[in-house]
Amino acid sequence: MKKCTFQLMFILISAFFLNLQAQSNWCGISAEDAQALTNYHLQVREDMRDFVKERNAVTYVPVRFHLVAKSDGTGRPTERLGLQALCLLNAAYADHDIQFYLKEFKNLNSTSVSTNPESFSGFNAIKSAMVYNAINVFIVDQIADPGVAAYWQGPPGPNGNDWIVASDNFVTTDNVLAHEVGHFFSLLHTFNGWESSGGWDPNVHGNPVGPNSPGNVPNEYVNGSNCTNAGDFICDTPADYMFGPDNTCVYSSNAKDPTGAALAPDVSNRMNYFYNCTDYHFSNQQITQINNSLFHSTRNYVRPGITPTLDIVSGSPALTKPAQLEKVDTYNYVELEWTAVPGANKYLVEISNSNIGNLRFIVNDNTMVVTNLLENQSYLWRVMAFNEYSTCGNYSTQKIFKTGAIFTDTAEIPNREKWTIAPNPVRSGQPILINLESDGMETDVSLFSMTGQLVHKVANYRFPGGISTLELPTDRLPAGIYIVALRTAGGVQTQRVAVTN
Ligand SMILES: [Zn+2]
């Protein structure tokens, strides 16, 4: 099967003088590409003819976002784009008993994929990054064809090239990902056969049009009498000969079908190319076809039968620590804290300034520690709450903190003698023993991963008299380096501990 590329092409014509921005696009699909997807569409229709989907049963489909940076790691799209795109995708399919959840974010470093995913090297890098247990969406800096917003590759299935690529400029535009997922689930454009035409033009294509489209697909009649074998092969989408790209969501042509009947295309159909519509939708038969593809054997791999957490996360956290403009003395140990948001089990934390750029972390708690900041600088930070299914939240209000010049390992807590960790390294499952001579001070003892995730905390602990020992469990901790931090009213001290398997 030949490569099947659906390209949603946008050209941005910025008319700055008029202070408006017109957006136009068309699809760069070749006749061969359209034929490959047509074959899949018809195969699904045939194979699933007798399939009846269980009513009111929601199918949850995992999505993996590959955040593609250049080979040197720069220019990576943010996790936030994936979360927003997932939010729009769920809204688009909410009425159709299909919902999507975040499988994971993966980072891919490849200049080819970032700037030219359709190139030979880009294609191969994507192919080797594929994991066939979710829909894989690659968010890239740009698709080399001028202004292409997104495409589904194909052919479908785990032995195919079953991925979606979207440009970071468009992945959160309403209907872009929903449209590509429509292709993923075997839908053709409502104007199938007209992609290469640049749009219907009476001077080129005639009015009435002839029997076949420029791509040699029979033109669908307005009365639908040939609908099963013409156009998009879907009978409840009206005849359409590609009247987009259009930004007004209004059809203003006067095209006639081969019998002379006037067209009335469905401009806000999700498989059309009209923009800024407020009532995007799939037709009932498109929904049936999507479900037939979802339950077709080519798509077993996106139906793991898992129901994600369904709690709805609404609202944003409030940043509580450090306080606004607070200076944290220890630049290599900055504890961040924010209010927990109901339903959230993940937080996207963003810290930025002009020297470090944009650092981002995903943690499971409403606290973390950052160990890789620079001394004597100001930082902006903000946090977004979400879970794998509910990703529509907004960032918190942004705040600022400053770092000092103290390196924590040398920071002294007044009146506290040396303390030790043993054993180090420690085998996962064995406790970490913290030994210190008691000084009666109340101490918060925390264990953090190197990515700042709080693993374990003993709050307000008072070491008993004499030399005493506190055990920190390491149950099921993956091997790696961790940070043990002791905080008192007088300051914080840290030591590193290695956990082995
Ligand atoms: Zn398309």
Distance CA 474, CA 307 (A): 29
Q: Is pLDDT above 90 for 436?
A: no
Structure tokens at 456: 């374990």
How far, in Å, from the CA of 143 to the mean position of ligand 1? Answer: 14
CA 250 – ligand 1 centroid, Å: 19
Q: Which amino acid, residue 299?
A: R
- Which domains are assigned to the chain? 1-187+285-305 (3.40.390), 190-281 (no CATH), 319-407 (2.60.40.10), 419-500 (2.60.40.1930)
- Cβ contacts of residue 410 below 8 Å, gap of 6+? none
Query: Which of 169-173, 246-250, 355-359, 394-398 holds the top average pLDDT?
Result: 394-398
How far is ligand 1, taken at its centre, from the CA of residue 25, in Å?
10
Average predicted confidence (pLDDT) for the chain: 89
Are 10 and 273 spatial neighbours (Cβ–Cβ below 8 Å)?
no
143-157, 334-348, 475-489: lowest mean pLDDT where?
A: 143-157
Cα-to-centroid distance, 267 and ligand 1 (Å): 14
Question: 196 CA distance to ligand 1 centroid (A)?
Answer: 12
The answer to whether residues 379 and 351 touch, using CB atoms and an 8 Å cutoff, is: yes
Side chain identity, residue 22: A
Residue 465 pLDDT > 90: no
- Complete DSSP assignment for 83-147: HHHHHHHHHHHGGGTEEEEEEEEEEEE-HHHHH-TTSHHHHHHHHHH--TTSEEEEEES-BTTTT
Neighbours of 175 (CB within 10 A): 23
Q: How far is the CA of 280 from the centre of ligand 1 (A)?
A: 14
- The residues with which 1 forms a beta bridge, in sequence order, are none
As a whole number of angstroms, the distance between CA 477 and CA 456 comes to: 11
- Residue 53: pLDDT band with limits 50, 70, 90: confident
Residue whose pair of structure tokens reads 């590759």 in the numeric block = 153
CA of 81 to the centre of ligand 1 (A): 20
Using the mean position of ligand 1's atoms as its centre, give its distance from the Cα of residue 123 in Å. Answer: 19
* 122-to-108, 115, 129, 222, 357 alpha-carbon distances in Å: 11, 8, 11, 42, 26
As a whole number, mean pLDDT of residues 75-104 equals 97
Pairing of strands 378-386, 346-353: antiparallel
- Reference 44, options 160, 190, 156, 163; nearest CA is 156
Residue 244: closest CA among 188, 212, 200: 200
Backbone angles phi, psi at 312, to 5 degrees: -90, 125
62 in Cβ contact with 100 (< 8 Å): yes
Ligand 1 centroid–CA 274 distance in Å is 11
Secondary structure of residue 177 in the 3-state scheme: helix
Say if strands 378-386 and 399-406 run parallel, antiparallel, or are unpaired.
Answer: antiparallel
C-alpha of residue 9 to centroid of ligand 1, in Å: 9
Ligand 1 centroid to Cα of residue 339, in Å, is 42
User: What is the whole-number distance in angstroms between the Cα of residue 227 and the centre of ligand 1?
Assistant: 20
Quick one: which of 108, 113, 103, 61 has its CA closest to 82? 103
Token pair, residue 129, equals: 């990054």
Span from the CA of 270 to the centroid of ligand 1 (angstroms): 9
pLDDT score recorded for residue 8: 35
DSSP 322: S
pLDDT of residue 300: 96
Q: How far is the CA of 404 from the centre of ligand 1 (A)?
A: 52
β 8-15/148-152 pair status:
antiparallel
- The whole-angstrom distance between residue 131's C-alpha and the CA centroid of its chain comes to 15
Q: Are 187 and 33 in contact (CB under 8 A)?
A: no
Residue 21 φ/ψ, nearest 5 degrees: -125, 115
Q: Do the beta carbons of residue 222 and residue 186 sit within 8 Å? A: no
- Distance spanning both ends of the chain, measured CA to CA: 46
**pLDDT, tens digit (0-9, with 9 covering 90-100), for 156-198:** 999 889 999 999 999 999 999 999 999 999 999 999 999 888 8
- Mean per-residue pLDDT, 393-414: 87
Residue 459 CA to ligand 1 center (angstroms) comes to: 55
Lowest mean pLDDT, pick from 134-138, 378-382, 450-454: 450-454
From 98-107, 134-143, 404-413, the region with the lowest mean pLDDT:
404-413
Give tens-digit pLDDT for 110-165: 999 999 998 999 999 999 999 999 999 999 999 877 667 888 888 899 988 999 99
Whether 164 contacts 150, CB under 8 Å: yes
CA separation for the pair 187, 219 (Å, rounded)? 17
Interval between CA 176 and ligand 1 midpoint (Å): 9
How much is the pLDDT for 5? 35
- Pairing type for strands 480-488 and 326-330 reads unpaired
E strand segments, 365-490: 367-370, 378-386, 399-406, 419-422, 426-427, 432-437, 442-449, 454-462, 467-472, 480-488
**Paired tokens of 289:** 């076809």
Distance 276 CA to ligand 1 centre (A): 16
CA of residue 47 to ligand 1 center, whole Å: 24
Ligand 1 centroid to Cα of residue 179, in Å, is 6
Could you tell me the distance, in angstroms and rounded to a whole number, from the CA of residue 77 to the centre of ligand 1? 23
Ligand 1 centroid–CA 183 distance in Å is 7
Give the Cα separation of 451 and 371 in Å (integer). 8
Nearest to 66 by CA among 119, 116, 102: 102
Centre of ligand 1 from the C-alpha of residue 322, in Å: 47
Pinpoint the alpha helices (H) of 116-250: 120-129, 176-184, 202-205
Dihedral sign, CA of 138, 142, 148, 154? negative
